[in-house]
Amino acid sequence: MGTKTSTIAMKVPSVDLRAQYADIREEIQAALQEVLESQQFIFGPKVEQFEQEMARYCGTQYGVGVASGTDALLLSLKAVGVGPGDEVITSPFSFFATAGAIHNLGAVPVFVDIQPDTFNLNPELIEAKRTARTKALLPVHLFGQCADMKPVLDIARHHGLPVIEDAAQSIGAEYCLDGLWHKAGSLGDLGCISFFPSKNLGAFGDGGLVVTGRQELDDQVRLLRFHGGRTKYVHERVGYNSRLDALQAAVLSVKLKHLDRWVEARRAHAATYDRLLGASAWDSAVVPPLIRDYAKSVFNQYVIRCHRRDALKEFLEERGISTAVYYPVPLHLQPCFNDLGYKAGDLPVAEKACREVLALPIYPELTEEMQNYVVTQIRDFYRK
């Protein structure tokens, strides 16, 4: 075998934001210039326009820009009245913000194990974890695929619980409910979206948005994002400073016009990976992601399950291929949640996923040549 550098035939990053920017540079610069000339950075027409565009895109009545996806969750939870001592049922297999937002309101995240094939919360396990203190349900639409929302919504309706969707990774994803397709974020009471740069719709920094069809929740989130004040210096409740600024809104408005095209490219790349991986005899060493019939994924990530994951990751890295592990530690076993009393083995499906998942490079500008290279290298690894 040659040296590490000589094994790199091609560089394949996890994402390539520079390629995206190169494609839309002029449009972005014109939009930014407009904001700079106006010198209106907080609230104002750019933000309002983008909020309306997002509401339309997600199929909801209202959209409220906030500072991040994390804050979208925090403000949504607070808007439905989650507070100290309450319990919120959610997934243990998600980015930390999902549980962190619950904890930061003094409430308790109650983790329900996931489905092995979709990595999303298993709705069949919710009832067993519901108590008199349960205040809300917080399903996560992971990697671009909606959680199975019908049973979640049925449970919520039955017990009068609000549903907050963590759609941070899944803007534009769809779920088929009673024969009709609905966009992620529009199924529950509130939907939370992140514009972290690596998301399918990424800002030039942090940003987030809450979508809702309920006027009173829109009103509450609007209050909460600006210190609970409707009129200057009069505060109805204690809120936060959490706003999407005009520069980010301008960037996002431009990018939103391209989002469907980018999602189509992601879907095509996912189909290519499916085909290339499906053509190999892996003996279950590699399992491609499964998209259920009720879902149209937007493939924010393309996540395989694989044997000897860490060794494969290192092998690919040495060959110029960047991959990522989302997530190596489940939320119920995070050190900061020790006092919740979970132990290893409590949520075995999520724990197993943490040992096996690997996100392959996926972004609109990825080429088929790169994908061929990735899958050839994976094949080489298992041949050894």
Nearer to ligand PLP, 57 or 195 (CB): 195
Q: How far is the CB of 91 from ligand PLP (least distance, A)?
A: 9
| Shortest distance (Å) from residue 53 CB to ligand PLP | 18
Other beta carbons less than 10 A from residue 316's beta carbon: 21
User: Nearest residue to ligand PLP, using CB?
Assistant: 69
Q: Which is nearer to ligand PLP, 70 or 76 (CB)?
A: 70
In whole angstroms, the minimum distance from the beta carbon of 243 to ligand PLP comes to: 14
Compare residues 139 and 320 and give the one whose CB is closer to ligand PLP: 139
Contact 159, 131 (CB under 8 A): no
Give the C-alpha separation, 76 to 218, whole Å: 9
State the minimum distance, in angstroms, from the CB of residue 194 to ligand PLP: 3
Shortest distance (Å) from residue 284 CB to ligand PLP: 28
- Measure the CA–CA gap between 174 and 53, rounded to whole angstroms: 17
Give CA–CA dist 291/51, Å, rounded: 29
Closer by beta carbon to ligand PLP, 193 or else 378: 193
Closer residue to ligand PLP, CB minimum distance, 94 or 118: 94
Pairing of strands 208-212, 174-177: unpaired
Q: In terms of CB distance, is 98 or 253 closer to ligand PLP?
A: 98
Measured CA distances, 310 to 68, 116, 220, 330 (Å): 31, 19, 45, 17
Query: Nearest distance from residue 281's CB to ligand PLP, in Å?
Result: 34
CB 224 within 8 A of CB 237: yes
The nearer residue to ligand PLP, 302 or 381, going by C-beta atoms, is 302
Chain contacts with ligand PLP (rule: CB under 6 A): 68-70, 94-95, 97-98, 140, 166, 168-169, 194, 196, 206, 208
Least distance between ligand PLP and beta carbon 322 (Å): 18
Contact 332, 92 (CB under 8 A): yes
Shortest CB 298 distance to ligand PLP, Å: 13
Check if the beta carbon of residue 273 is closer than 8 Å to that of residue 371. Answer: yes
Cis bond leading into 327, ω under 30°? yes
Nearest approach in angstroms of CB 244 to ligand PLP is 11
Closer to ligand PLP by CB, 145 or 253: give it.
145
**Would you tell me how many other CB atoms lie within 10 Å of the CB of residue 258?**
16
Q: How would you classify the pairing of strands 295-296 and 174-177? A: antiparallel
Query: What's the rounded Cα separation, in Å, for the pair 316 and 379?
Result: 11
DSSP for 193-242?
EE--TTSSS--SS--EEEEES-HHHHHHHHHHTBTTEEETTEESS---B-
In angstroms, the CA 261 to CA 185 distance is 20
Angle at 262 between CA 148 and CA 67, to 5 degrees: 70
Beta bridge mates, 286 = 306
Comparing CA positions, the residue from 139, 130, 148 lying closest to residue 168 is 139
Q: How far is the CB of 174 from ligand PLP (least distance, A)?
A: 17
Residue 92 or 208 with smaller CB distance to ligand PLP: 208
CA distance 291 to 298: 10
Nearer to ligand PLP (CB atom), residue 271 or residue 336: 336
